[in-house]
Structure 1
């Protein structure tokens, strides 16, 4: 056990001892350190608390081996699956049964968002490879053997019924149900909830799990005869999502998407009756049950017709919270956002955007101040919303007029307690690029929330266990995010939840300490004057905190600017809770270990700095104003004495690939080389703006021209710097043709182009070995093009 508020705290004597050897050891250490080692830390995410037994589950990806883990405040952490292969089959949608004895999840990346009909299969596993639901019964552990993993093919987003004996899931946009009892038959209302007692047209039962594609991984799987039967639960138009079971388990709420509108439906298992909740012309989503199960609250947004307007709009027709009577479907507006900032809904990282608390109040996110905060509606009385994440009269409230503020990130509740992470920075301005945990004030008279965690670490993704303890992810600049347990919130005592997940390469309790450094927060002006946040990574022999700094070796070093993807992202002063950026952070650290100065840029249109920064004017396809940040980053590096202004490169993926390409196309005089992973190169092609429209008042041709002029493809004649292009050809986020066209056009102009294509790989590479290959090639490319020979050295 350790004091949670304690700093990471290296011993001074150890710093002196290590720093004295740095001039001798740096080149040797860098030569020994590999990309594989830099990316070796296990990645854990999706902490999901069980409703009972003080249990929590999550998934961990350890160098491509993805497994589900379970722990509790009184039971040791352990994996409950045994996948041993880097097979590219992801894990998502972890769900508990109400008795905390059964656990389900989605495995595999399905065809959604892709023209392909098959699930992603970058490992070329013998087919057919299908996205599927897996589930286990933890009571089998008591019989001294690992739980059997059962499989339901072509399924995702599982949800247990109240008795835990049935599993509801989605398949091809429809809602299905499976009986989990052995040798079950789905023919009567007594055999399972939602049986077709009203002749609604159920299909014949289907045997599940007959050909699971993952039997080769080492996990024990059930045969089809042991996994029960499945059938479609109801037949309605639209595509279903957002499944929510009623408190008594007798009804199911869901969202039915219909293109330009959506409905909230409630299905009653006993009768087979489907009731629509206050249907209208809006986009209805995020249903939330009242504690007594008699009402449904949901969000209603006014559809935005323009294909790209929601990318830059700061205000519009206000969204609202509506409440409907479940038995009749009749509803009313309970609350409506005010015009101006916050009139357009912006979500937080949470399973539910509306949190109907046990006391009858409803908690929700709102950007009234220009920053995402939490508010509360009382169960009765006036419709005014009161602040939760800051006090109504607090001096620490975000201020739109002041131009600065902080935002709520992830939120969770057990219907009684509330917990969230935030980059609130009133005690430490550097926390704007960190995350800490907060909860409402213990005393009703207090105007400010209570800070649960603090210090130089990062804490996020909280989960409230049934005994009052708190699980969350904690990490730092040199320690990967990993699950921890706060057993006693009053005394703030924590311990690692799964110490066996310690990375393989560890020095003195910190991950590969001789190589990783503490990035420092920086601010610099964009070309148009906007202040931009970032983090700078200095090679270890240049760290200003060390007693010995080799000033001669810290001058005129090569530098690389990193642009994150998204663009709705924010890089932090440490490990990131999203796997893509967790690994990008590791690669930035690797580049620093090779002697590069690395500047990670939180450019405009990202999150963490307020509505106006996120909804930047004329950004992306509407003008590409982020180019001011691309230009400003290079200009800022040129002012630093550590940087050789002639050896500045860039790298980024997805949206960061777009900005890397934009920098090379428009500023080859500043950016000498770049690595572009699956970037957008022509917005008009990516957004289908070439398609005609008969929408009144819309000049589609003008929009398409502006989108193209905002793209790297519009400036190929000034693109001179060499580039490495990397993409998977089963990319479901960015058209692979973007890279095909760019490579051909650059080669036609004589620009040096190198490429690496991963057949059947998706946007966020599913195979760990592909990430190692991509980053190894990227590092070698940057070293060659920026003339790096050893850590901190340059070619003569």
Structure 2
């Protein structure tokens, strides 16, 4: 008799679970919030019960406005959202599964379409209009003049007009896998990293007739490069290259890393800071990794676990002891440098309530 009652109640239990899940799924989920470099325009991606779209708003009212009109829950995420410097265009990546443990460029097909949607770069006017797909690709960056978009396709750098009027073209070809694209503020030089399995090197692309300039090439892994505000120097992180005897999987070891600056004209690099040779001083594993930035007043900002917490530090480009910017027992995550490079915004788990250690607040 007891078993019969359980069988009769089982459908009700399943129905209750389904209703609870439906209520949970009904919550909208915003991501990818970004702002224009000038003015008061913002954009974000919104997941509305599986339908992912781009929304925008403009000050002072900041009334949300739906910009794209993707009407199907097809699993195609929206990432790498950005607004052009002139505020006229919104650029994004549609498709892929960024943050997963496989290639971001692989198409997703949860709805079993006969032709899967490939990962593509999209652009659309901020004021509204048709979404134009510039090319298959990922990791787009908009040029300072707001006219073109550079991106990664097939492990190489490509470029396309932001309005999609001309087909995309390969910008240059080099050995290895290209990534970490970043334009200089003034003359549109393009900074990049070429990963070559056991090492990586940093290069600068100028134009179609000028050879690539390599910054202090070596057999180390050089990563996370960023321009100085005046475009005359770069800052980057250097770690050991691959090779040598295999390490033990059972013993924790210090993973060393250092911060270098390099002169763009000469390509010569100078050691600025070396992480402490302790386990806590190893390569940081929090969101954003090194979180390296070239801030105003020739200050380099970075993240380190050296005191036991993922904290922010700064150091003068002329060389000095690092300064702890965020003392106390809390984490710094999701770190962004302001447009004027004078302040940092981040999430942290601290506050007046003892339970704030389990929460995240904007700081």
Gaps of 5+ in 2: 1-12
**Equivalent residue for 2:137?**
155
Deviation per residue, 1:660-717 (Å, 9 max, x gap): xxxxxxxxxxxxxxxxxxxxxxxxxxxxxxxxxxxxxxxxxxxxxxxxxxxxxxxxxx
Change (3 A) 1:317 1:341: closer
Q: Secondary structure at the match of 2:56?
A: strand
CA distance in 1, matches of 2:119, 2:172: 21
Query: Is the Cα contact below 8 Å between 1:132 and 1:156 reproduced in 2?
Result: yes
Change (3 A) 1:315 1:375: farther
1:428 CA drift (Å)? 2.6
Change (3 A) 1:100 1:347: farther
**Equivalent residue for 1:385?**
322
Q: Secondary structure at the match of 1:60?
A: strand
Summarize the alignment of residues 591-630 of structure 1 with structure 2, pairs less than 5 Å apart. Answer: none
**Equivalent residue for 1:77?**
64
Summarize the alignment of residues 122-137 of structure 1 with structure 2, pairs less than 5 Å apart. Answer: 122-137=110-125
Aligned residues: 346
Q: TM-score, normalised by structure 1?
A: 0.41
Query: Is the Cα contact below 8 Å between 2:46 and 2:54 reproduced in 1?
Result: yes
**Equivalent residue for 1:245?**
183
Of 39, 48, 66 in structure 1, the residue corresponding to residue 34 of structure 2 is 48
Of 87, 90, 95 in structure 2, the residue corresponding to residue 103 of structure 1 is 90
Q: Secondary structure at the match of 1:36?
A: helix
Gaps of 5+ in 1: 1-26, 182-225, 391-396, 398-404, 439-796
Of 61, 65, 76 in structure 2, the residue corresponding to residue 89 of structure 1 is 76
Query: Is the Cα contact below 8 Å between 1:341 and 1:369 reproduced in 2?
Result: no
Matching of residue 67 in structure 1 with residue 53 in structure 2: yes
Query: Is the Cα contact below 8 Å between 1:67 and 1:81 reproduced in 2?
Result: yes
1:227 CA drift (Å)? 3.3
**Equivalent residue for 2:158?**
176
* Structure with a larger share of its residues in helix: 1
Matching of residue 327 in structure 1 with residue 314 in structure 2: no
1:179 CA drift (Å)? 2.3
Of 434, 438, 460 in structure 1, the residue corresponding to residue 359 of structure 2 is 434
Query: Is the Cα contact below 8 Å between 1:180 and 1:229 reproduced in 2?
Result: no
Summarize the alignment of residues 346-495 of structure 1 with structure 2, pairs less than 5 Å apart. Answer: 346-350=284-288, 353-380=291-318, 382-390=319-327, 397=328, 405-414=329-338, 415-424=341-350, 427-438=352-363
Query: Is the Cα contact below 8 Å between 1:250 and 1:270 reproduced in 2?
Result: no
1:331 CA drift (Å)? 0.7
Summarize the alignment of residues 353-752 of structure 1 with structure 2, pairs less than 5 Å apart. Answer: 353-380=291-318, 382-390=319-327, 397=328, 405-414=329-338, 415-424=341-350, 427-438=352-363
1:123 CA drift (Å)? 1.1
1:157 CA drift (Å)? 1.2
Summarize the alignment of residues 209-224 of structure 1 with structure 2, pairs less than 5 Å apart. Answer: none
Query: Is the Cα contact below 8 Å between 2:272 and 2:317 reproduced in 1?
Result: no
CA distance in 2, matches of 1:332, 1:37: 56
Change (3 A) 1:433 1:295: same
Query: Is the Cα contact below 8 Å between 2:255 and 2:283 reproduced in 1?
Result: no
Deviation per residue, 1:528-572 (Å, 9 max, x gap): xxxxxxxxxxxxxxxxxxxxxxxxxxxxxxxxxxxxxxxxxxxxx
CA distance in 2, matches of 1:116, 1:53: 32
Query: Is the Cα contact below 8 Å between 1:151 and 1:227 reproduced in 2?
Result: no
Query: Is the Cα contact below 8 Å between 2:237 and 2:257 reproduced in 1?
Result: yes
Rg comparison, structure with higher value: 1
Deviation per residue, 1:729-776 (Å, 9 max, x gap): xxxxxxxxxxxxxxxxxxxxxxxxxxxxxxxxxxxxxxxxxxxxxxxx
1:359 CA drift (Å)? 1.4
Change (3 A) 1:50 1:170: same
1:85 CA drift (Å)? 0.5
CA distance in 2, matches of 1:266, 1:418: 27
Deviation per residue, 1:32-64 (Å, 9 max, x gap): 943112221111111112101122211111111
CA distance in 2, matches of 1:287, 1:96: 22
Query: Is the Cα contact below 8 Å between 2:350 and 2:356 reproduced in 1?
Result: yes
**Equivalent residue for 1:119?**
107
Q: Over aligned residue pairs, what C-alpha RMSD do you find?
A: 2.8
Query: Is the Cα contact below 8 Å between 2:33 and 2:43 reproduced in 1?
Result: yes
Query: Is the Cα contact below 8 Å between 1:275 and 1:328 reproduced in 2?
Result: no
Q: TM-score, normalised by structure 2?
A: 0.87
Change (3 A) 1:151 1:351: farther
CA distance in 1, matches of 2:289, 2:148: 21
